[in-house]
Amino acid sequence: MNMYLLYAAMGYLSNAGNMADYFDVKY
């Protein structure tokens, strides 16, 4: 369960970073 939560957290942070890069390029 801990590994699953860690994986989910990593995925969330990675997605947030991608969104930030997307907005940096768009605006």
Report residue 25 CA to chain centroid gap. Answer: 17
pLDDT score recorded for residue 1: 64
Tokens coding 14: 């990675």
Residue with tokens 């860690």: 6
pLDDT score recorded for residue 27: 63
pTM of the model: 0.45
Distance (Å, whole) CA 20 – CA 5: 23
pLDDT score recorded for residue 3: 85
Torsions phi, psi for 15 (to 5 deg)? -65, -40
Distance (Å, whole) CA 6 – CA 12: 10
pLDDT digits 0-9 by tens, 1-27: 688 888 888 878 788 777 777 777 766
